[in-house]
Chain A
Amino acid sequence: MSPSQPTAIEYETTESVLLAAHSVTKKYGEVTVLHPVDVEFRSGEIHALLGENGAGKSTLVKILAGIIPATTGRVSGRAHDNGDVAMVFQELSVVPQLSVLDNLALAGRSNRGWIPYRRLRNRARSALDSAGLTDVHLDRPVETLALAQQQLLELARGLIRDAQVLVLDEPTATLSDIEIRRVHTVTKNLAAAGHAVLYITHRLGEVMELADHVTILRSGRVAATGPRRDFTLTAIVDHMLGKSRETVVKASVSRHDRDSANTLELTALTIPGRYEDVHFTARDGEILALFGQVGSGADDVVRSLAGLLPPQRGAITLRGKALAVPSRVATKRHGIGYVPADRATEGVFLNAAVTTNISSSALDRISSRKLLRRKRERDLARTGANDVRFNPERLTEDVSAFSGGNQQKVAIARALAMQPRLLLMSEPTRGVDVGARAEIYQTLRQLAAQHVLVVVYSTDIVEIRELADQGVTMYRGRTVGSHRIDDTDDATLITEILHGEPA
């Protein structure tokens, strides 16, 4: 080895740094959200930024993208100087009614009063191609695209600005496994083309597969950083959580404690065009998971059971009795609780206090003669918070003040307040950090042990494995197989949801 080599490498490394934070801090009033953070992003690298909700990821990213200023410290790098940082948010910001081209035009840098469509078309085409949307026509309205395609379009919006640094904030949170692969391929290609990709995710499997470099934030500090090959999955989780790490124990209820009459049975349930001939049986003491991609109809089945999408044919039997599900009012009367996937729009009341949220589905329990009893409401909220491991000191705050994990706990407490006999849940831990995830699983386990029937829908194989006893796979509106999760390997489950044939 020649002595000059390290210098050469050093030189090249500095050259390829597109964006760097130097001792960046952020304070909101008295509260420090970021302690001095140093981090570098290089061209050609996929850099995973990890941490629980509230660890400071979004704040750091916003500072890097120049959306908010740092309190002290500075951001440097070529990409920073040229404003070359594009953010792709988890929530879609495309305009569904407009065409693909118009959406790309909106992202463009033109600050003239008109849009140079002819020139734009060429650039738009190449941006779409590199975002993996080769088969999408420019004039197609965005609302006709699949969710994954819309997510990729978000990416293309970053590309059309020639952004060197792309920040992807949980791009796969709402996607199913096959669509996630598509996003991964595109991400890898972009890195290979010389972009620096900053990848934020809660799915740790992705990190192992995708990232070149890993930075883990905890409580506003860098807990660990380095090349991905230096980390194992367990090491990453340990760094994210610090010392206190709870492992999920899948303690099933012993057989003889089970109530064999307590079942939910679906036979030949059908809504033409959404799902057909769906059948499965959920048993006492078990958690049943419907596993399928977005569009497999599994979510619609759950919504039907909740009374939001009445089925046209087939039968539902709860505890041996026929169950009609014509409306939410009716299903609620039958003791069916429902936690939807989309927290912000229908799962919780964001601008109301946690207490109000928890009592909202059980107003009859906190009132007598239609008058509210505040003390009963406070007691109910405290019990509810306790059941889902929510901090009882913070019951008077608005739900919007909390992270995704805590909001989900409120959504669950809200459904539990009505003392359901059957709890339905879509995507139980979407956008929820690892710590809260484990607590939510434990809550659901306990419910199952208390003879509440639990049916969840999930697109996440890791979740199915950690949470469910029984897995029912769905493909294009039909149930494919039903398995004891512990006796089944991932390959079988994934093959069934991707190809629709029992493996």
Chain B
Amino acid sequence: MTLTELRSAVRGSRRNATATSMVTVATIGLAIVATVTIDAFPTASNLRGLCLSVSLIGIIAVGLSFITIAGQVFSLSIPALVALCTIAFASSNYLGVTASVLLTVALGSTVGAIQGVVVGRFEADPIIVTIATAAILVGLGQLWTNGQTVLGTGDNTVLNMNLFGFLPFQTAVFLTVTIALLWLLRQTVFGRQLTLFGLNERAGLLSGYRRTMIVTAAFAISGATTGLAGALLAAQSNQGLLTSGASFGFDAIVAVVVGGVAIAGGIGTPLGAAVGAVFAGLLNNVAALAGLSYEMQLVTEGALILLVVLMSGFLRAKSAR
């Protein structure tokens, strides 16, 4: 093996992981610094709060990453779908926890699949389709609830308990969903087709991959995780409301991008998106604990995210040369 070959061999295997591993290192570094310098950070109550704030966004982000990896950019209907799902959960709550969670997830994945068919079969622009869907969902939600809060009537304590006494149920769901979707992407034929399709759509179609199937499945998966997050959110306060989860869509997109999923498609994993969600949540938490005003928190969050994105872009440019 010559030196050139050796160099490019090392580079080849490292490239896809670059952005994700950067943000992983940044996350761990930030956590260590916070532990050492901020007394209020490593307390049980703060860590539990952090887990709760990260989990729902994380669940949405790992699902959303499938849309991005398939080369379909983002879904902008996520906040509307979360809100609608909180209402669906609260409304169906009298059927029992399990039934209402399943119904909510089914609703989410159906809404996702419909968007997926429109984008996949009819080659419509995903951004426009999901914006239109958001408008429809908000309208339907208004008609359904008259803008009123829907109160849940079931017992949802199981969704809010701590596993083993310390792990919030939502966080356990977040971890499970991440691992399951990572497995789906890396170990199955479908996951491989999705990745390659996102990398080069035309080459994928020449390989006999079905565009409609891949895109629909990606949107359905994102819809399902969004529905799941909506159910868990509604269970926290036993209510469904059209304004719930308004910031989730933006935060999930941030998590996906910061986590090293390439917007052009084909590169990145749900694990990266999960790490991105943790990083963004951690950043907010540390900023709040450090006594920054809400305004300054926004500024630091935005600036640090830009920094991460710039650095991973810089690394990619360097390795591509």
Contacts and interface: CB of A to CB of B under 8 A. Distances in A.
A328 B208 contact: yes
A212 interface: no
Given A29-B7, A370-B188, A396 B208 contact: no
Contacts of A361: 206-208
A396 B13 contact: yes
A353 interface: yes
B196 A352 contact: yes
B70 to A, nearest CB: 14
Interface string B191-210: 01100100110111111101
A22 interface: no
A31 B207 contact: no
A150 B127 CA distance: 34
Contacts of A176: none
A338 B199 CA distance: 19
A346 B206 CA distance: 7
Select the residue from B190, B199, B210 with max chain A CB neighbours within 10 A: B199
Select the residue from A340, A360, A370 with max chain B CB neighbours within 10 A: A360
B199 A363 contact: no
Given A328-B205, A396-B12, A31 B187 contact: no
Contacts of A351: 199-200, 266-267
Given A338-B206, A394-B5, A398-B15, A370 B189 contact: yes
B188 A372 contact: yes
A306 B187 CA distance: 29
B210 A360 contact: no
Given A371-B187, A372-B192, A350 B200 contact: yes
Interface string A408-426: 0000001000000000000
Interface string A329-369: 10111000010100001111111110010001101100100
Nearest to A400: B320
A394 B205 CA distance: 26
The dominant DSSP class at the A interface is: mixed
Contacts of B196: 349, 352, 356, 360
Contact of A31 (B3, B202, B208): B3
Interface in B238-265: none
A59 to B, nearest CB: 13
Contact of B189 (A29, A31, A332, A363): A363
A329 B8 contact: no
Contacts of B9: 394, 396-397
A367 B12 contact: no
B190 A370 contact: yes
Contacts of A394: 5, 9
A304 to B, nearest CB: 14
B202 A371 contact: no
Contact of A398 (B7, B12, B206): B12
Contacts of B37: none
Contact of B207 (A360, A371, A397): A360
A462 interface: no
A83 B243 CA distance: 61
A329 B267 contact: no
Select the residue from A29, A306, A367, A372 with max chain B CB neighbours within 10 A: A372
B1 interface: yes
B46 to A, nearest CB: 41
A230 interface: no
Given A332-B208, A351-B267, A372 B189 contact: yes
B4 interface: yes
A30 interface: yes
Contacts of B12: 353, 396-398, 401
B200 A349 contact: yes
Contacts of A349: 196, 199-200, 203-204, 266
A393 interface: yes
Contacts of B13: 396
Contacts of B266: 349, 351-352
B159 to A, nearest CB: 31
Contact of B199 (A30, A352, A401): A352
Nearest to A353: B12
A370 B189 CA distance: 5
Select the residue from A30, A31, A352, A372 with max chain B CB neighbours within 10 A: A352
A364 B203 contact: no
Select the residue from B8, B192, B206 with max chain A CB neighbours within 10 A: B206
B118 to A, nearest CB: 20
A293 B31 CA distance: 64
Nearest to A330: B208
Contact of A363 (B7, B193, B205): B193
Contact of A346 (B192, B203, B208, B267): B203
A96 to B, nearest CB: 18
B194 to A, nearest CB: 11
A473 to B, nearest CB: 27
B18 to A, nearest CB: 13
A29 B202 CA distance: 35
A109 B196 CA distance: 41
Given A363-B193, A398-B15, A345 B202 contact: yes
Given A332-B208, A361-B207, A396-B13, A372 B187 contact: yes
Interface string B65-78: 00000000000000
Contacts of B7: 29-31
A30 to B, nearest CB: 5
A367 B196 CA distance: 16
Given A351-B199, A397-B9, 18 more contacts: A30-B3, A30-B7, A31-B4, A328-B205, A328-B206, A346-B200, A346-B202, A347-B206, A349-B196, A349-B199, A351-B200, A356-B192, A360-B204, A361-B206, A363-B189, A363-B193, A370-B188, A371-B188
22 contacts: A29-B7, A30-B3, A332-B208, A345-B202, A346-B202, A347-B203, A349-B200, A349-B266, A352-B196, A356-B196, A360-B204, A361-B206, A361-B208, A363-B192, A363-B193, A367-B188, A367-B189, A370-B190, A372-B189, A397-B5, A398-B15, A414-B207
